[in-house]
Amino acid sequence: GQQVMQIPQYQHVQEGEDFTTYCNSSTTLSNIQWYKQRPGGHPVFLIQLVKSGEVKKQKRLTFQFGEAKKNSSLHITATQTTDVGTYFCAGNNNNDMRFGAGTRLTVKP
Amino acid sequence: GAVVSQHPSRVICKSGTSVKIECRSLDFQATTMFWYRQFPKQSLMLMATSNEGSKATYEQGVEKDKFLINHASLTLSTLTVTSAHPEDSSFYICSAIQGNEQYFGPGTRLTVT
């Protein structure tokens, strides 16, 4: 079945440094979604990517969807302490959605 | 954005008892809701897809007789953990889709003693 792999598992950065998390799917996806989960909270939808090669930006966050629609990345420029949390990707293939393991980001002020 | 609520937020029960968790879409109708389970510091694991007016679709390895799902209306789905055991202790999260976005409930932390 479909598998979604996400790396790294953990990332600790100094405030102001950049951060990137990557997702790879074993199958071609119809779309991929990204979520952020703060410690003790629930996942919050960030964005959905649908088109091959799509790039979307939300302030300091840049989301990319690969040309083959099998991989995606989330890049945060100049991290802030408010960026702390776990970032999950979720790949969707024919209404079969699978979450990546998540990347736990900690930011040192 | 859309709001999904869950009740209770926390529950402690004794081994062998059953616990019902409610998931409600507050300002929209959801013909489909999803139930997830999340272990500490781990990803979300889809347990089942709850369909209004019909039987839920369970993921492989999830016992449908243990995790009873009822989606009686367009705004309410319930998950009942029957004969709970300590290994069922976990964080249970529901979600519903509106448009292209999936909205998660705040989750229910179940502790079975």
Q: What is the 3-state secondary structure (H, E, C) of chain B?
A: CCCEEEECCEEEECCCCCEEEEEEECCCCCCEEEEEEECCCCCEEEEEEEECCCCCEECCCCCCCCEEEEEEECCEEEEEECCCCHHHCEEEEEEEEECCEEEECCCEEEEEC
Q: What is the least distance, in Å, from the CA of B74 to any CA of chain A?
A: 20
Pick among B44, B45, B49 to test the A interface (most A CBs inside 10 A) = B44
Spell out the per-residue pLDDT of chain B, length 113, in tens. Answer: 678 999 999 999 999 999 999 999 998 998 889 999 988 778 888 899 998 888 999 988 999 999 999 998 999 999 999 999 999 999 999 999 887 778 888 899 999 99
A33 touching chain B per CB within 8 A: yes
Q: What is the least distance, in Å, from the CA of A78 to any CA of chain B?
A: 25
Confidence at residue B21, expressed as pLDDT on a 0 to 100 scale = 98
Query: Residue B104: closest CA among chain A residues belongs to which residue?
Result: A43
Q: Which residues of A touch B93 (CB under 8 A)?
A: 42-43
Confidence at residue B1, expressed as pLDDT on a 0 to 100 scale = 65
Q: B100–A48: do the CB atoms touch at under 8 Å? A: yes
A46 touching chain B per CB within 8 A: no
